[in-house]
Each structure stands twice: as structure tokens, then as C-alpha cells.
């Protein structure tokens, strides 16, 4: 009997101990949850009963060099529905389908979807949003938003780029400077009950958005507009595929204009400007067509520069002492290199000529001889020194690299063709940057658009700086090149770029498109002014012109017309020295 009582006491003690331990653990857990985890569970409960709607930040504006707006924002609305709050679903469906011009089935799917909040349509005009707000439909939310707007339509479309439905940059400047322009979105927070219905007595909490900062560019809207007009005129006259123009300050790399016609409508960037019928095309085919329309040929595409590259060959030849201005050459109309016969553009040849006359005549045999004198090692060394083997690092996305032979694959024939701008490819911006560096005293500049970032009050938050590599060539060589290229315009193949009262330097080019033999050409001219102190440089490239296609005949006048208009605008005064008119007719390349 005593043994039985002792056993029962032990049993009770064990049960009591276990229960006590459980109670202690539960109490400890309760204390932990109520004290140490209270913040976490309060946050979880709030999130469970809190509904959040975004307030979009206004994207920063983009301004030109004169303070004119290139990109801004329009107020639009986002229309959303909250299923649990809708009391008259059929009325909501009818109103939204009518005002938003959507089919009823699309609206019904969104209205009947049991989600906390469902967006029906974005980028709705403010007038339409105000009209929907006026119906006072329960469960329908009209929130103000921003849509990117470009007041100049297609102006500089492939440079500025555009944004998507989320207001994020897709191409161009809008992508490069996204971090400065985008801002930080805000939000509207409302509390709901267990059924998801908002509690009006709780009101709403707002986290205000922080607008993006403004970007100021070196682009000048007046120069851009005139350059585009001139490009469209040239494209129509020659029935060309496209025309590119770059206008920049060769001293510091600031780009005043960059044209790629045909441009596209920035406010409607997903509509093709080519007239191509997209009916029946796959989504990938449609996207390929859009990508082609958006391409910036000045930086995304490479081409054989042709005779404009003779500027670089001349510079290297002078730098390494392979040539002097007094050197004489003989041009019978061709030159033989190994087993290759390389022709001059003048079939009968130029006969005996100095190097100065050779560059004025754009004579291929002269430059083949110059290239061979320079040699592969020194030519390749200066390719790197002048920056041609690397990108310019322009502040635009998608810059293409130079396409060049490997050094070990350059034989005499390759060296000969490189010397007058064939058998390799560069971008137009690379040509502009390299020639700028040659004629500005020998400093390799970085071409760019971005100048500064300012806040809404106009306070400068950041001023951009760009790499400059000094003394890539001597000042003496730079001055010699200024002289030679002035002679090309005043007396040589570039005479169609002459402007009375101004000293212009430049070089013409005509290159055949690849693959060769199709009878298609690229005509170009690069010019700068004043010749002895360059303050503006321009490149014009006409792709696949019909009829006469010589660069000196059709591209040089294009740059002349641009300079004729913008030199006075830039405050570059005419020379007081009288002009001597050269009436000699010459074939222009």
C-alpha cells in the first residue's frame, strides 16, 4: 500500500514538473513575442491591413545649352480598381470601357479579379482621369502619374532616346543619365478591415515622391534643328538611305548637334517611320524593325572612312618623319603593291606632285607611298596613340568599336589600303574625335553631351568632367595639318566647302559600301573653322546617294551650308583678308 502511494506521488510530481516546464516555455515564448518581436508582428499586421499605391516621381527635365527644354513630363492618370470595394460592378465596367476606350471583356476581367488592387490602364490623359473621377464610383481609384513628353517631336530622337511605360529610360541620353533623372517614387497608404475594405476613419498616409534632377546638355537646339533640316534636304535631293551629321567643339569635345535622319517621333516611338507594312510579321521581326529605326548611326555603326582617313595617315607620316611637305611623288593613275593594282580616283593620274598637292588632290598613290614609308609597326603604334583602337567613351549607350586587322595580319597590301581609308571600319564619332584631337593642338578629347546636373531650384549638384589625353601629337604637326586641310578647301577637292570671309579646313571622301561591286557609295566630308584656331568641327555622311556621289560634290556643300548659318551664330567673325577666287575646275572626290 505504501509502495503504491509513493508511486502515485512520483507520478504526480513528474506530471506537475512537465506541466510547469510547458507553462514556463509558453510564458517565455509569449514574453519573447510580445516584447522582443512586437515591432515585427505590428509591421506584419499593418501590412496585412494596409494597401499601397505608388505616387510616381516626376522625371528630371532635359535642357539644351541655351536652357530650352528638350524633354519634360505631362500629367497623366493611372486608373485602378479594388474588387472588395466595388458595389456596382456593371456600372464600373460600363463607365471604364466607355471612357478608356477599352472592350468590355478586358475591363470585366480586371474588375472581377479578386486582388488587392488591379490596374486597368496607365498613361490616361488627365482630362479623361478627371472625368472618371467625376462619376464617384466606389472601388475605382484615379491616381495622377507622369508621362515623358518631348516638345520638339522627332528632334535628336536617336540621341535623347525615350522612356517606357514605367518612365525608365530605354535608349539614348535617357538611359545614360537614368540615375540622375529618375527620382524616387512615393506612395499612398490606406488601412483596410479583414474583408479588404478601406477604413475611411483611418484616412490615408502619404509618402511624397522625390522628383528627379534636371540634366543640362551641350546640344544647341538651334544648331540641331538647322543640321536636321540640311540633312533631310540632302537625303531627299540624292534619294539617299540616310544622312548623319555631327557638329562639335574640337577643343573640349562638347557636341552641339548629332543628326541621324530619318529621325522618329519621340512621343510615339513604337510606330515605324519607314512605311514598312508590319502586318503578318512576327514579334521578333517587328522588334528588329524598331531597333533598326532607333539605331544611332553616328555611334552604333561602323563604315570605311575612305579619304577622310588621309588626315590620320598624313599626321602619322609627319610625326614619324616619313614625309615632309616638300617631298615629291609621281602619280600615273595607279600604284602597284605586290600583286595588287591600286587606282587613283583620277584615271589619267596627277603626274608629278608635292605632298601638299597630293593631299589637295586626294591622290591615292601618294598616300599608299606614305603608308609604306611609315610601316606597319609605327602605323599600328599611332593607331593606339591616337585612340583609334579604343572607344571614344561618348556618353551614349551602344558605341561600336573600330574594326581593324590584327597587327600580325597587316601585309603591304593591307597597309596600302589602310593608308587611304579602306579595309577597316570606324564610327563617325571616332573620326570626329580623332580629327578634333589632331587639329586642336594634339589633345585627345572625349566627345560628350552631358554638362551638369541641377535640382529644381537651379542649384548645380554636379558638373561633369571628361578625360583629356594631352600631346598625342606635337603642336607643330597639328599646325601643319591645319594648314594642309585649309589648302584642301581653298584649292583642292574640298573647295565646295569654301565660305567667303572664313578660313575653312577639311577633307572629302567617297567610299564604296560593302560588299563592293554593287555600285553603292558613302559620301562624306569633315570640316572645321576657323582653320588656324578651330572652334567648331562638323562631319557629314550621306549613305547610298543616287546619281553623283562624290564627297566633294555633295557632302562638302552640306557642311558649307551648316557653317554658313552657324558660324555667325557662334560669334565666329569673318576674316578681313580679301578672298582670292579660284575658278579652276577640278574633279572632286
Domain boundary assignment for the chain? 51-103+111-217, 303-569
Task: Tell me which of 154, 157, 307, 524 is the catalytic residue.
Answer: 307
Cell of 352: 608629278
196 CB neighbour count, 10 Å cutoff: 16
pLDDT for position 208: 85
Q: Helices H, strands E: what count in the chain?
A: 20, 19
Alpha-helix residue ranges (DSSP H) falling in 304-400: 310-320, 355-361, 364-374, 376-385
User: Which CATH code of 3.40.50.1860, 3.90.1310.10, 3.90.700.10, 3.40.190.10 fits the domain covering 51-103+111-217?
Assistant: 3.90.1310.10
Fold observed for domain 303-569: Beta-lactamase (3.40.710)
Task: Give the H or E element holding residue 352.
Answer: strand 351-354
The three-state secondary structure class of 281 is coil
pLDDT for position 587: 46
77 CB neighbour count, 10 Å cutoff: 24
Cell of 1: 500500500
The residues with which 214 forms a beta bridge, in sequence order, are 454
Residue for grid cell 456600372: 91
DSSP state of 78: E
Identify each DSSP E strand in 101-249 by its residue range: 118-125, 140-149, 186-191, 204-207, 214-217, 242-248
pLDDT for position 5: 60
The pTM for the full model equals: 0.86
20 included as an active-site residue: no
Residue-level pLDDT, tens digit, the chain, 589 residues: 555 666 567 777 777 778 778 888 777 777 766 776 665 555 544 444 455 667 788 999 999 999 999 999 999 999 999 888 888 989 999 999 999 999 999 999 998 888 778 899 988 999 999 999 999 998 898 988 889 999 999 999 999 999 997 889 999 999 999 999 999 988 877 665 555 555 454 556 778 889 999 999 999 999 999 999 999 999 999 999 999 999 999 999 999 999 999 999 999 999 998 777 777 789 999 999 999 999 999 999 999 999 999 999 999 999 999 999 999 999 999 999 998 999 998 989 999 999 999 999 999 999 999 999 999 999 999 999 999 999 999 999 999 999 999 999 999 999 999 999 999 999 999 999 999 999 999 999 999 999 999 999 999 999 999 999 999 999 999 999 999 999 999 999 999 999 999 999 999 999 999 888 888 999 999 999 999 999 999 999 999 999 999 999 999 999 999 999 999 999 999 886 544 444 433 445 6
Please provide the distance, in angstroms rounded to a whole number, between the alpha carbons at the two ends of the chain.
128
Amino acid at each position: 500500500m505504501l509502495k503504491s502511494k509513493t508511486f502515485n506521488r512520483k507520478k504526480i510530481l513528474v506530471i506537475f514538473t512537465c506541466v510547469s516546464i510547458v507553462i514556463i516555455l509558453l510564458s517565455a515564448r509569449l514574453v519573447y513575442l510580445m516584447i522582443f518581436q512586437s515591432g515585427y508582428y505590428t509591421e506584419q499586421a499593418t501590412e496585412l491591413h494596409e494597401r499601397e499605391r505608388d505616387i510616381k516621381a516626376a522625371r528630371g527635365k532635359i535642357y539644351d545649352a541655351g536652357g530650352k527644354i528638350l524633354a519634360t513630363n505631362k500629367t497623366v492618370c493611372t486608373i485602378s480598381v479594388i474588387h472588395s470595394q466595388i458595389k456596382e460592378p456593371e456600372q464600373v465596367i460600363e463607365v471604364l470601357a466607355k471612357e478608356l476606350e477599352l472592350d468590355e471583356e478586358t475591363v470585366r476581367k480586371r474588375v472581377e479579379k479578386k486582388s488587392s488592387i488591379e490596374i486597368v490602364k496607365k498613361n490616361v490623359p488627365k482630362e479623361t482621369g478627371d472625368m472618371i473621377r467625376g462619376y464617384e464610383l466606389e472601388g475605382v481609384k484615379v491616381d495622377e502619374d507622369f508621362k515623358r513628353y518631348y516638345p520638339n517631336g522627332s528632334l535628336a530622337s536617336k540621341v535623347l532616346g525615350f522612356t517606357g511605360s514605367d518612365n525608365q529610360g530605354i535608349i539614348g541620353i535617357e538611359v545614360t543619365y537614368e540615375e540622375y533623372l529618375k527620382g524616387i517614387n512615393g506612395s499612398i497608404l490606406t488601412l483596410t478591415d479583414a474583408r479588404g475594405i478601406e477604413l475611411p476613419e483611418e484616412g490615408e498616409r502619404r509618402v511624397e515622391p522625390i522628383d528627379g534632377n534636371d540634366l543640362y546638355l551641350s546640344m544647341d537646339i538651334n544648331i540641331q534643328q538647322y543640321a536636321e533640316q540640311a540633312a533631310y534636304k540632302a537625303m531627299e535631293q540624292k534619294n539617299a538611305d540616310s544622312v548623319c551629321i555631327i557638329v562639335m567643339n574640337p577643343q573640349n569635345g562638347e557636341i552641339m548637334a548629332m543628326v541621324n535622319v530619318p529621325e522618329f517621333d519621340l512621343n510615339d516611338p513604337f510606330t515605324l517611320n519607314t512605311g514598312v507594312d508590319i502586318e503578318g510579321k512576327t514579334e521578333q521581326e517587328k522588334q528588329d524593325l524598331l531597333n533598326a529605326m532607333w539605331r544611332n548611326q553616328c555611334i552604333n555603326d561602323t563604315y570605311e572612312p575612305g579619304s577622310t582617313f588621309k588626315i590620320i595617315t598624313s599626321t602619322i607620316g609627319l610625326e614619324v618623319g616619313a614625309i615632309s611637305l616638300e617631298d615629291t611623288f609621281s602619280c600615273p593613275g595607279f600604284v602597284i603593291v605586290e600583286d595588287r593594282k591600286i587606282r587613283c580616283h583620277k584615271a589619267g593620274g596627277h603626274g608629278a606632285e608635292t605632298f601638299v598637292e597630293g593631299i589637295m588632290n586626294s591622290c591615292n598613290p601618294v598616300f599608299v607611298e606614305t603608308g609604306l614609308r611609315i610601316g606597319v609597326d609605327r602605323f599600328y603604334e599611332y593607331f593606339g596613340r591616337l585612340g583609334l583602337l579604343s572607344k571614344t567613351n561618348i556618353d551614349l549607350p551602344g558605341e561600336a568599336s573600330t574594326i581593324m586587322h590584327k597587327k600580325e595580319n597587316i601585309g603591304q597590301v593591307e597597309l596600302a589600303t589602310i593608308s587611304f581609308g579602306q579595309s577597316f571600319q570606324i564610327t563617325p564619332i571616332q573620326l570626329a574625335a580623332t580629327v578634333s584631337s589632331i587639329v586642336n593642338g594634339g589633345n585627345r578629347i572625349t566627345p560628350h553631351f552631358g554638362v551638369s546636373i541641377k535640382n529644381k531650384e537651379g542649384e548645380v549638384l554636379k558638373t561633369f568632367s571628361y578625360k583629356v589625353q594631352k600631346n598625342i601629337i606635337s603642336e607643330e604637326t597639328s599646325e601643319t595639318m591645319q594648314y594642309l586641310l585649309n589648302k584642301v578647301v581653298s584649292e583642292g577637292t574640298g573647295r565646295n566647302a569654301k565660305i567667303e570671309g572664313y578660313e575653312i579646313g577639311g577633307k572629302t571622301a567617297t567610299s564604296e559600301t560593302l560588299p563592293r561591286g554593287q555600285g553603292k557609295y558613302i559620301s562624306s566630308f569633315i570640316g572645321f573653322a576657323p582653320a588656324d584656331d578651330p572652334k567648331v568641327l562638323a562631319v557629314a555622311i550621306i549613305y547610298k546617294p543616287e546619281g553623283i556621289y562624290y564627297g566633294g560634290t555633295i557632302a562638302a556643300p552640306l557642311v558649307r551650308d551648316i557653317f554658313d548659318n552657324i558660324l555667325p551664330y557662334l560669334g565666329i567673325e569673318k576674316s578681313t583678308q580679301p578672298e582670292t577666287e579660284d575658278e579652276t575646275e577640278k574633279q572632286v572626290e
